[in-house]
Amino acid sequence: MTDALLVWGGDVLYLCHWMRESGLAELSPSLDNLVYVGVSAGSIAMTPYNCDAEFNRQFVPAGSNMAVDSERAPGLVDFAMTVHLDNPDPIFEDNSRENVQKWAATVPVPTYVIDDQSAIKVSGGVVDVVCEGHWELFSPTPS
């Protein structure tokens, strides 16, 4: 039997917060037959770093602890990612290659940047980019 979990987009910080609060983040690694399908923010939520933390923090309600550790995500994969590369929608104006490269230089893991015609498949620890568009991989900057 295989279980599938579809996590849609929206606010990465919100998704990560509730994955932790619900226990899903802690439980997920033990689910051997889990197929995780992340879309947009749902994809980023499985990485170790939230590339949207600065943007997401502006929506945290006053008095909430949701922004605590907002730069971190559950980390079920060992790479970071950003999505919507060069999407013309104004909401994604910061998702240029140059901006992603600057952010990627601040995290100690490889960073994939993918457009809306791309996906990342991880199976048995092997990472494959499935792409009909554009993507790039930034290696961590040595310290």
Is the Cα torsion angle 123, 85, 10, 57 positive or negative in sign? positive
**Chain mean pLDDT for the chain:** 89
Q: The pTM is what?
A: 0.87
Report pLDDT digits (tens) over 91-141.
Answer: 888 888 898 899 999 999 999 999 999 999 999 889 999 999 999 999 987
DSSP state of 90: G
Task: Give the ranges where the chain is alpha helix by DSSP (H).
Answer: 12-22, 24-27, 41-44, 53-57, 97-104
Query: Domain locations in the chain?
Result: 3-138
Which CATH topology does 3-138 take? Answer: Rossmann fold (3.40.50)
